Amino acid sequence: MEIIKILIVDDHEVVRDGLSVMMGRQEDFTVVGEAHNGLEAVEKASELEPDVILMDLRMPELDGVEAMRRIRKKDANVKFIALTTYDTDEYIFDAIEAGAKGYLLKDTSREDLFKAVRTVHQGDSLIQPAVVSRVLDRLAQLSRRPGQGGERQALSDREVEVLRLMARGSANKQIAADLSITESTVKTHVTNIFQKLEVRHRTEAVTKAMSKGIIKL
Protein backbone atom coordinates (compact mmCIF):
# COMPACT_ATOMS: atom_id res chain seq x y z
CA MET A 1 0.00 0.00 0.00
CA GLU A 2 1.40 3.37 -1.02
CA ILE A 3 1.52 5.95 1.75
CA ILE A 4 0.54 9.50 0.81
CA LYS A 5 2.63 12.16 2.53
CA ILE A 6 0.55 15.21 3.46
CA LEU A 7 1.51 18.75 4.48
CA ILE A 8 -1.21 20.82 6.18
CA VAL A 9 -1.11 24.60 5.76
CA ASP A 10 -3.51 26.84 7.70
CA ASP A 11 -3.08 29.88 9.92
CA HIS A 12 -5.49 28.50 12.55
CA GLU A 13 -3.96 25.98 14.92
CA VAL A 14 -7.29 24.35 15.71
CA VAL A 15 -7.86 23.66 12.00
CA ARG A 16 -4.40 22.17 11.59
CA ASP A 17 -4.86 19.98 14.65
CA GLY A 18 -8.25 18.72 13.48
CA LEU A 19 -7.03 17.92 9.99
CA SER A 20 -3.92 16.22 11.34
CA VAL A 21 -5.98 13.93 13.58
CA MET A 22 -8.40 13.05 10.76
CA MET A 23 -5.67 12.37 8.23
CA GLY A 24 -3.61 10.38 10.69
CA ARG A 25 -6.42 7.86 11.13
CA GLN A 26 -6.26 6.81 7.48
CA GLU A 27 -3.95 3.87 6.88
CA ASP A 28 -2.63 5.26 3.60
CA PHE A 29 -2.03 8.81 4.88
CA THR A 30 0.82 10.23 6.92
CA VAL A 31 1.01 13.88 7.97
CA VAL A 32 4.64 14.87 7.52
CA GLY A 33 4.25 18.43 8.76
CA GLU A 34 2.23 21.58 9.32
CA ALA A 35 2.71 25.24 8.40
CA HIS A 36 0.91 28.33 9.69
CA ASN A 37 1.48 30.62 6.70
CA GLY A 38 2.60 30.59 3.09
CA LEU A 39 6.25 31.36 3.80
CA GLU A 40 6.54 28.44 6.20
CA ALA A 41 4.70 26.26 3.69
CA VAL A 42 7.35 26.96 1.03
CA GLU A 43 10.10 26.03 3.49
CA LYS A 44 8.35 22.89 4.76
CA ALA A 45 7.50 21.72 1.24
CA SER A 46 11.16 21.90 0.26
CA GLU A 47 12.28 20.17 3.45
CA LEU A 48 9.63 17.45 3.76
CA GLU A 49 8.78 16.74 0.08
CA PRO A 50 5.06 15.98 0.61
CA ASP A 51 2.93 14.31 -2.05
CA VAL A 52 -0.17 16.40 -1.32
CA ILE A 53 -0.50 19.81 0.33
CA LEU A 54 -3.77 20.96 1.92
CA MET A 55 -3.52 24.71 1.41
CA ASP A 56 -5.56 27.46 3.02
CA LEU A 57 -5.74 30.50 0.74
CA ARG A 58 -5.96 33.57 2.95
CA MET A 59 -3.07 33.68 5.41
CA PRO A 60 -0.69 36.31 6.82
CA GLU A 61 2.77 37.05 5.37
CA LEU A 62 2.20 35.00 2.19
CA ASP A 63 -1.15 33.77 0.89
CA GLY A 64 -1.86 30.27 -0.34
CA VAL A 65 -1.99 31.15 -4.03
CA GLU A 66 1.48 32.68 -4.08
CA ALA A 67 2.80 29.85 -1.88
CA MET A 68 1.57 27.30 -4.44
CA ARG A 69 3.30 29.18 -7.25
CA ARG A 70 6.61 29.23 -5.38
CA ILE A 71 6.41 25.59 -4.38
CA ARG A 72 5.59 24.49 -7.94
CA LYS A 73 8.71 26.23 -9.23
CA LYS A 74 10.78 23.93 -7.02
CA ASP A 75 8.66 20.78 -7.27
CA ALA A 76 6.31 20.33 -10.22
CA ASN A 77 5.11 16.96 -8.92
CA VAL A 78 3.53 18.06 -5.65
CA LYS A 79 -0.29 18.16 -5.69
CA PHE A 80 -2.35 20.92 -4.06
CA ILE A 81 -5.84 20.95 -2.61
CA ALA A 82 -7.18 24.41 -1.80
CA LEU A 83 -9.14 24.02 1.43
CA THR A 84 -10.80 27.32 2.24
CA THR A 85 -13.91 29.17 3.36
CA TYR A 86 -13.85 31.35 0.24
CA ASP A 87 -15.86 30.45 -2.86
CA THR A 88 -15.62 33.74 -4.77
CA ASP A 89 -14.49 33.73 -8.40
CA GLU A 90 -11.13 35.38 -7.80
CA TYR A 91 -10.10 32.83 -5.17
CA ILE A 92 -11.28 29.87 -7.25
CA PHE A 93 -9.62 30.92 -10.50
CA ASP A 94 -6.43 32.19 -8.89
CA ALA A 95 -6.02 28.91 -6.99
CA ILE A 96 -6.62 26.78 -10.07
CA GLU A 97 -4.25 28.93 -12.12
CA ALA A 98 -1.60 28.52 -9.39
CA GLY A 99 -1.85 24.75 -9.66
CA ALA A 100 -4.58 23.53 -7.31
CA LYS A 101 -5.91 20.15 -8.46
CA GLY A 102 -8.57 20.14 -5.78
CA TYR A 103 -10.78 22.94 -4.44
CA LEU A 104 -12.86 22.23 -1.36
CA LEU A 105 -14.68 24.41 1.13
CA LYS A 106 -13.97 23.80 4.79
CA ASP A 107 -17.50 22.54 5.41
CA THR A 108 -16.87 19.54 3.15
CA SER A 109 -17.33 16.09 4.66
CA ARG A 110 -14.30 14.16 5.84
CA GLU A 111 -15.11 11.41 3.32
CA ASP A 112 -14.98 13.91 0.46
CA LEU A 113 -11.72 15.31 1.80
CA PHE A 114 -10.15 11.84 1.97
CA LYS A 115 -11.39 11.15 -1.56
CA ALA A 116 -9.89 14.41 -2.80
CA VAL A 117 -6.46 13.59 -1.36
CA ARG A 118 -6.41 10.18 -3.03
CA THR A 119 -7.79 11.58 -6.29
CA VAL A 120 -5.26 14.39 -6.72
CA HIS A 121 -2.43 12.09 -5.65
CA GLN A 122 -3.33 9.88 -8.61
CA GLY A 123 -3.04 12.86 -10.94
CA ASP A 124 -6.74 13.67 -11.31
CA SER A 125 -8.71 16.72 -10.19
CA LEU A 126 -11.57 17.04 -7.73
CA ILE A 127 -13.52 20.25 -7.27
CA GLN A 128 -16.49 20.55 -4.94
CA PRO A 129 -19.79 20.56 -6.90
CA ALA A 130 -20.81 24.00 -5.64
CA VAL A 131 -17.50 25.39 -6.85
CA VAL A 132 -17.82 23.63 -10.21
CA SER A 133 -21.12 25.46 -10.73
CA ARG A 134 -19.39 28.81 -10.21
CA VAL A 135 -16.63 27.86 -12.64
CA LEU A 136 -19.15 26.89 -15.32
CA ASP A 137 -21.17 30.07 -14.74
CA ARG A 138 -18.04 32.18 -15.06
CA LEU A 139 -16.98 30.47 -18.28
CA ALA A 140 -20.47 30.95 -19.71
CA GLN A 141 -20.36 34.67 -18.86
CA LEU A 142 -16.99 35.06 -20.54
CA SER A 143 -18.20 33.34 -23.69
CA ARG A 144 -21.18 35.72 -23.92
CA ARG A 145 -19.26 38.96 -23.40
CA PRO A 146 -19.22 40.96 -26.65
CA GLY A 147 -16.48 43.24 -27.84
CA GLN A 148 -13.73 41.91 -25.59
CA GLY A 149 -10.58 40.32 -26.89
CA GLY A 150 -8.62 37.40 -25.58
CA GLU A 151 -6.77 39.67 -23.16
CA ARG A 152 -9.90 40.21 -21.04
CA GLN A 153 -10.68 36.51 -20.93
CA ALA A 154 -7.09 35.74 -19.95
CA LEU A 155 -7.19 38.09 -16.96
CA SER A 156 -8.71 36.95 -13.68
CA ASP A 157 -11.16 39.17 -11.80
CA ARG A 158 -8.46 39.95 -9.26
CA GLU A 159 -6.03 41.00 -11.98
CA VAL A 160 -8.66 43.35 -13.42
CA GLU A 161 -9.15 44.84 -9.94
CA VAL A 162 -5.41 45.41 -9.70
CA LEU A 163 -5.42 47.00 -13.17
CA ARG A 164 -8.18 49.42 -12.16
CA LEU A 165 -6.23 50.52 -9.11
CA MET A 166 -3.07 50.85 -11.21
CA ALA A 167 -5.03 53.12 -13.54
CA ARG A 168 -5.85 55.35 -10.56
CA GLY A 169 -2.16 55.67 -9.80
CA SER A 170 -2.11 53.40 -6.75
CA ALA A 171 1.24 51.90 -5.76
CA ASN A 172 1.57 48.21 -4.87
CA LYS A 173 1.39 48.91 -1.14
CA GLN A 174 -1.89 50.81 -1.49
CA ILE A 175 -3.33 48.17 -3.83
CA ALA A 176 -2.50 45.50 -1.25
CA ALA A 177 -4.28 47.48 1.46
CA ASP A 178 -7.33 48.15 -0.72
CA LEU A 179 -7.72 44.48 -1.71
CA SER A 180 -6.67 43.00 1.67
CA ILE A 181 -3.87 40.97 0.12
CA THR A 182 -0.11 40.99 0.58
CA GLU A 183 2.18 43.27 -1.38
CA SER A 184 4.03 40.24 -2.76
CA THR A 185 0.72 38.94 -4.14
CA VAL A 186 0.11 42.31 -5.80
CA LYS A 187 3.54 42.09 -7.43
CA THR A 188 2.67 38.63 -8.73
CA HIS A 189 -0.60 39.93 -10.19
CA VAL A 190 1.23 42.83 -11.85
CA THR A 191 3.77 40.44 -13.37
CA ASN A 192 0.95 38.23 -14.67
CA ILE A 193 -0.83 41.26 -16.13
CA PHE A 194 2.33 42.34 -17.96
CA GLN A 195 2.78 38.85 -19.40
CA LYS A 196 -0.83 38.45 -20.49
CA LEU A 197 -1.04 41.91 -22.06
CA GLU A 198 2.47 41.59 -23.49
CA VAL A 199 3.65 44.89 -22.02
CA ARG A 200 6.62 45.96 -19.90
CA HIS A 201 5.39 49.00 -17.98
CA ARG A 202 2.41 49.95 -15.81
CA THR A 203 1.46 52.87 -18.03
CA GLU A 204 1.56 50.65 -21.10
CA ALA A 205 -0.57 48.04 -19.31
CA VAL A 206 -3.21 50.59 -18.34
CA THR A 207 -3.27 52.15 -21.81
CA LYS A 208 -3.66 48.79 -23.54
CA ALA A 209 -6.30 47.63 -21.06
CA MET A 210 -8.34 50.77 -21.68
CA SER A 211 -8.02 50.48 -25.46
CA LYS A 212 -9.25 46.87 -25.28
CA GLY A 213 -12.20 47.77 -23.08
CA ILE A 214 -10.87 45.73 -20.16
CA ILE A 215 -11.08 48.69 -17.77
CA LYS A 216 -12.67 52.13 -17.85
CA LEU A 217 -11.86 55.25 -15.87
pTM (2 d.p.): 0.67
Q: Domain boundary residue among 110, 134, 158?
A: 134
Q: Domain boundary residue among 134, 162, 187?
A: 134
Looking at 38-149, list the stretches that DSSP marks H as alpha helix, in order from N- to C-terminal side. 38-48, 64-74, 89-98, 110-121, 129-144
**CATH code for the domain in which residue 130 is found:** 3.40.50.2300
Based on the domain organization, do 29 and 67 belong to the same domain?
yes
For residue 217, the model assigns a pLDDT of 62
Name every residue whose Cβ is closer than 8 Å to that of residue 20 and which is 6 or more positions away in sequence.
8, 31, 34
For residue 1, the model assigns a pLDDT of 82
Instruction: Give the residue-averaged pLDDT of 184-209.
Output: 87
Phi, psi of 170 (to 5 degrees): -75, 135
Instruction: Give the residue-averaged pLDDT of 179-206.
Output: 88
Based on the domain organization, do 40 and 74 belong to the same domain?
yes
Please give the torsion angle defined by the CA atoms of residues 31, 37, 40 and 44, in that order, rounded to the nearest 10 degrees.
Answer: 20
For residue 141, the model assigns a pLDDT of 59
Sign of the four-CA dihedral 156, 162, 164, 167: negative
Domain assignment of residue 202, yes or no: yes
- Listed range (10-14, 43-47, 129-133) with the worst mean pLDDT: 129-133
pLDDT digits (tens, 9 = 90+) for 42-96: 999 999 999 999 999 999 889 999 999 999 999 989 999 999 987 677 788 888 8
Tell me if residue 86 falls in helix, strand or coil.
coil
For residue 134, the model assigns a pLDDT of 67
Res. 205 pLDDT band, cuts 50 70 90: confident
- The distance of Cα 173 from the centroid of its chain, to the nearest Å, equals 20
Instruction: Give the residue-averaged pLDDT of 167-190.
Output: 89
For residue 92, the model assigns a pLDDT of 84
Instruction: Give the residue-averaged pLDDT of 179-185.
Output: 91
The structural domain count of the chain equals 2
Res. 151 pLDDT band, cuts 50 70 90: very low
Residue 171 has pLDDT above 90, yes or no: no
Based on the domain organization, do 115 and 194 belong to the same domain?
no
Q: How far apart are CA 183 and CA 176, in angstroms?
A: 5
Residue 34 has pLDDT above 90, yes or no: yes
Residue 22 sits in which domain range? Answer: 4-134
Based on the domain organization, do 36 and 114 belong to the same domain?
yes
Based on the domain organization, do 186 and 79 belong to the same domain?
no
Question: CA-CA distances (angstroms) from residue 75 to 38, 42, 140, 182?
Answer: 16, 10, 33, 23
More confident residue, 83 or 203: 83
Based on the domain organization, do 111 and 48 belong to the same domain?
yes
Based on the domain organization, do 32 and 107 belong to the same domain?
yes
Instruction: Give the residue-averaged pLDDT of 26-40.
Output: 97
Based on the domain organization, do 103 and 204 belong to the same domain?
no
Q: Domain boundary residue among 134, 158, 185?
A: 134
The pLDDT mean for the chain works out to 87
* E strand spans, the chain: 4-9, 29-35, 52-55, 79-84, 100-105, 126-127
Based on the domain organization, do 19 and 126 belong to the same domain?
yes
Question: CA-CA distances (angstroms) from residue 83 to 11, 80, 113, 155, 211?
Answer: 12, 9, 9, 23, 38
For residue 147, the model assigns a pLDDT of 47
More confident residue, 200 or 164: 164
Residue 179 has pLDDT above 50, yes or no: yes
Based on the domain organization, do 83 and 126 belong to the same domain?
yes
Domain assignment of residue 174, yes or no: yes
Q: How far apart are CA 116 and CA 23, in angstroms?
A: 12
For residue 144, the model assigns a pLDDT of 53
For the ranges 107-121, 130-144, 200-214, the maximum mean pLDDT occurs at 107-121
